[in-house]
Structure 1
Amino acid sequence: MRKIVGLAVLALTLAGAARDAGAQPAPAPQATGGQRLSFEFTPYLWIAGVSGNVSVADPRFDLGGQGRGGGVIERSIRADFGDVSSNLSGFAFMGALEARYGRFGVVADILTITLKDSVSTRNVIFNGGDGRVQTTAGGLFGLYRVVDEPSQWLDLGVGIQPFSASVRLTLNPGLLEGVTAKESANWVDPALAVRYRYRFSEQWSATLFGTIGGFGVGSQLSWQAMATLDWRVASWADLRAGWRYFAIDYRSDGGRLQIDTAVNGPIIGATFRF
């Protein structure tokens, strides 16, 4: 956590030094109704905690496609955002790209992360174990700017959110033999999106973003909300910090994999315009 805070402070210091050294204060942005193609790239770091439940078909039982039927291993997961860095396993990437022409825009977002945690079993029937959850979540939205003013704007959109999830739960031998249960799934949610930004001054603004999807087509329900405070350090760059919450309730056919989790925590990033 100290490394993350240190990197954020260093980024803010360098950006401020660059602005003071040679750049003039950025002019107040004009309404975006002009017919000009522009792009924004936003890499970000989500220092998120996770809580919820996952269940996987137990390979010692034949479910026969009849649902849970007792043949599942279920695990409650919880890790506060301050502890997640110790639970990360492998590569994590988070970023968004937006293309805009006049009032129309297209936004693509991707997040891939793998978390691992130990399983407490009281060391009787099983002697502990471990769980591993790998998730890739994306979003592709077409947006239309219904409000376009110098001090504020509002986008409404529709799109899709593809998901890929893999869960592995392992229980070590105790009174019973050890067992490992693994399941994976891929699905796509239809989704709606809304985004609002209000500009307090030439340099400071706030952005609200939310989506809701699933509706029983892919997941039962998936939704998220994010709020950031944005600091314009140059005409081509903003630094952003805020909070993001993402919840998903997914159940595969036959009940072999069920995921009901919420991920939330602080988020920091930078938006580059070109």
Structure 2
Amino acid sequence: MFSLENKIAVITGGGSGIGKAIALLFARQGATVYIVELNLEAAQQVATEIKQTGGNAHAVAADVSDQQAVVNAFKQIGRIDILVNNAGIAHVGNVENTAAADFDRVYNVNVKGAYNCLYAAIPVMKQGNGGVILNMASIASHVGITDRFAYSMSKGAIYAMSMSVARDYLHSNIRCNSISPARVHTPFVDGFITKNYPGQEDEIFAKLSKSQPIGRMAEPEEVASLALYLCSDESGFITGADYPIDGGFIKLNN
């Protein structure tokens, strides 16, 4: 079950965190993985790690906010069976202290970046036998998160775009779903805590962990396992759905 043999999978932001975990798992399940990254060195490191364990992987340098760069990169890749729109950036702030430049930056990477990849991949999937698209949304797509105005905007857009694409391509054999994680323990989280709370790392980590009712953050590998299911043939009857992976945050955090 959950084999990705003979599948070509494109994973944006696959050089670290959740994207890296997805790339490693998909390769282990037999997919040929293309890691599309702004940070080519990080992508190459993950591709090397995959190859060392007998998998197939390629690093592709591209800025997802640049449509022509994405189109060119996807042309290089050729056939695409699976697209995981994972690349994204965070921002802390409410509407009053979110500068226009910061709002645009989050929009350009998180929203326009996903759009650019959809724009490039869907015609390729239509020419083939269809495909599967998985977009990385967030619990911020569903509930209010303090001081995450721009980020929440971007993830709400990801959720809405996922539903739209699922509807538009029902008859092209293209499925599209999204995942909405709560906090996931990634190097980004550790870096954020170290930068903003020096000397309080353990205390802040514990506080952030307990904000999930289950009492801890998710591990990237747990999100990757859900991604594997949604991109495998076993989920062939699922499209136009969002899957929270949130330790009970949305429903139980009362």
Shorter-chain TM-score above 0.5: no
TM-score, normalization by structure 2: 0.22
Q: Which has the larger radius of gyration?
A: 1
Higher strand share goes to which structure?
1
Higher helix share goes to which structure?
2
